[in-house]
Amino acid sequence: MRGATHVKWAVCAVSVALAATACGGSSSGGDGAGIVRSSWGDPQNPIEPANTNEVQGGKVLDMVFRGLKRYDPKTGEAENMVAEKIDTTDQQNFTVTLKSGWTFSNGEKVTAKSFVDAWNYGAHVDNKQNNSPFFANIEGYDQVHPESGKATAKTMSGLVVKDARTFTVKLNEKFSTWPETLGYQAFVPLPQSFFEDHEGWLKKPVGNGPYTVESYTKGSSMKLRAWDGYKGPDKAQNGGVDLVVYTDNNTAYTDLMAGNLDLVDDVPAKQLKNVKADLGDRYINQPALIFQSVVFPMYDDRWNKPGMEKVRKGLSMAINREEITQQIYQGTRTPATDWTSPALREKGGYQEGLCGDACTYDPKRAKKLIEEGGGLPGGKVQFTSNVDTGSHRDWLDAVCNSINNALGKGAVCTVNPVGTFADFKNQMAGYKMTGPFRSGWQADYPLIQNFLQPLYATGGSSNYGKFENKEFDRLISEANKESDQAAAVAKFQDAEKILADQMPAIPLWYQNGSAGWSDLVSDVQLNQFSVPVYDQIKVS
């Protein structure tokens, strides 16, 4: 019976290995009529308003919350939502009055305190919220969020609750378009349950928007249902939304083809050629508030010495944007001719052609300009970018080919690929670049200020190239003080012209948002942040 004992021991060892397999999940099929099934990506951070800074978590916040203002998906204008009015006389002290009748889906009233508590929470350094810099222009931010060391206050002195429906805000300095920034998701109100049972809230977020979270399985799916008690003007037109996490956008697209999914908001580059044949007019491709550029390390003397502005401009003119956006992106990127985005519209500050000749492909003049400026530093240029997503490697190679062809001196332009975004980000934030590097910018709100100040003003929060220009800073500061919107936009554009002259960052293209949907749903549109406007989708 030796054989039997062998088997016994073998079985023993297997059972150790298989002990983990015994667990299974209960299955839940598709239920209810009028549910939109939509693709999703796993949000990087826990879903909470002041900690979510990417589109996937943003989708949920956009359904579950309504803030003081909301950007109209078509025009991009900030319209009052929970706010009845936001008054100011000096562009620095604001009085916010709320509409009555707003409640959270758990029955709690939305009051001035709901906002002030939420903002104080978002700003406080102990809470480690990604979006805390959004509160930086409120007075008292330095005390709750010092650059180093412990916070010396629990709340910001600039926020004062007057009564249930009124609170006042005092800013550090004049900022005329501040109310327009309040459509951003970090500024939404929070119910008391968020503070009392934070863990529980994160498992099942509760807000004041048209949808409630029915169930949330982290990493795989979220079921949202239309909230019957919602009193706002934009009640959900469907029964609910099921967000399903996909490992890959190609897989999501296949599921859309097979009829298992209703909406894909990120059509994979590989499928762009087929999308017309597959979906016909059930596909949109429209500008979003995303601007792609390459930034020069102005902290490196080789790129910043006098005369180099000609070289920088020359490089810009050597890039054939038209061909690259068509060949690599199938028209889902638009060649850039300024430093903003067409999604801003002209009223908001977008001006086609502001960059002028410097952004027009002209290989002969490019070569001449680079030679006039003293040539490339060391005769070479190397572009750096992460290459793990977004076809970055493809367009970088194309840009280099374009430059090499224009200069005709062989392979002087090369690509320095970085494996992960995290690594690339560290090099960028550590100011360790020795040549131009990729910079993508998704605006937080549809304001021209957001495309310029954080990126190019001295000390700007995302000024990775350390561009410094006194005249630029002066114009931005003046524009922020301007109470008239048109005058403010004109000042911002004047500042932008300095960029055209100095070329600290080469505009490449504006990125579009795209979405495809099944024949079961209609009225699909994308907002400026390339997030589908879920509450307007109708299910047949």
Partner 1 sequence: MGRYVIRRLLQMIPVFIGSTFLIFVMVYALGDPVAALFGDKAPDPATAARIRHELYLDQPLWKQYLHYMGQIFRGDFGTAFNGQKVTELLAGAYPVTLRLTLVAVVIELLVGITLGVVSGLRRGRSVDTSVLVLTLIVISVPTFVSGYVLQFLFGVKWDLIRPTVSPDAPFSELILPGVVLALVSLAYVTRLTRTSIAENVRADYVRTAVAKGLPRRRIITRHLLRNSLIPVVTFIGTDIGALMGGAIVTEKIFNIHGVGYQIYQGILRNNAPTVVGFVTILVIVFLLANLLVDLLYAVLDPRIRYA
Window 95 to 114, contacts with partner 1 (CB under 8 A): none
Determine the interface stretch with partner 1 among 181-189, 376-384, 437-445, 521-529 (rule: CB under 8 A).
Answer: 437-445
Please state the closest distance from residue 14 (CB atom) to partner 1, in A: 6
> With binding defined as CB under 8 A, does residue 520 bind partner 1?
no
Please state the closest distance from residue 132 (CB atom) to partner 1, in A: 6
Burial class (CB in 10 A: 0-12, 13-18, 19+), 330: middle
Among 79, 214, 352, 423, binds partner 1 (CB under 8 A): 423
Give the three-state DSSP class for 426.
helix
Determine the interface stretch with partner 1 among 64-72, 73-81, 184-192, 420-428 (rule: CB under 8 A).
Answer: 420-428
* Cβ atoms within 10 Å, residue 26: 4
Return the structure tokens found at 101: 């009748």
> With binding defined as CB under 8 A, does residue 458 bind partner 1?
no
> With binding defined as CB under 8 A, does residue 1 bind partner 1?
no
Give the footprint of partner 1 on residues 218-257 (CB under 8 A).
Answer: 218-221, 244-248, 250-252, 254-255, 257
Identify which of residues 61 and 86 has a Cβ nearer to partner 1 in the complex.
61
> With binding defined as CB under 8 A, does residue 23 bind partner 1?
yes
Strand pairing category for 240-245 and 35-40? parallel
Using alpha carbons, list the distances in angstroms from residue 150 to 144, 145, 153, 322.
Answer: 8, 8, 9, 51
> With binding defined as CB under 8 A, does residue 16 bind partner 1?
yes
Non-local (6+) Cβ contacts of 344 within 8 A are 76, 289, 350, 446, 447, 448, 451
Give the footprint of partner 1 on residues 284-313 (CB under 8 A).
Answer: none
Among 334, 337, 439, 530, binds partner 1 (CB under 8 A): 439
Give the footprint of partner 1 on residues 29-48 (CB under 8 A).
Answer: 42-46
- For the chain, the residue count is 540
Non-local (6+) Cβ contacts of 74 within 8 A are 525
Contact 439, 292 (CB under 8 A): yes
Identify which of residues 11 and 33 has a Cβ nearer to partner 1 in the complex.
11
Give the footprint of partner 1 on residues 385-414 (CB under 8 A).
Answer: 388
Contact 308, 374 (CB under 8 A): yes
Distance CA 512, CA 331 (A): 9
> With binding defined as CB under 8 A, does residue 440 bind partner 1?
yes
Give the footprint of partner 1 on residues 178-207 (CB under 8 A).
Answer: 202
Q: Most distant CA pair in the chain: distance in Å?
A: 96
Among 32, 101, 146, 331, binds partner 1 (CB under 8 A): 146
> With binding defined as CB under 8 A, does residue 148 bind partner 1?
yes
Distance CA 179, CA 183 (A): 8
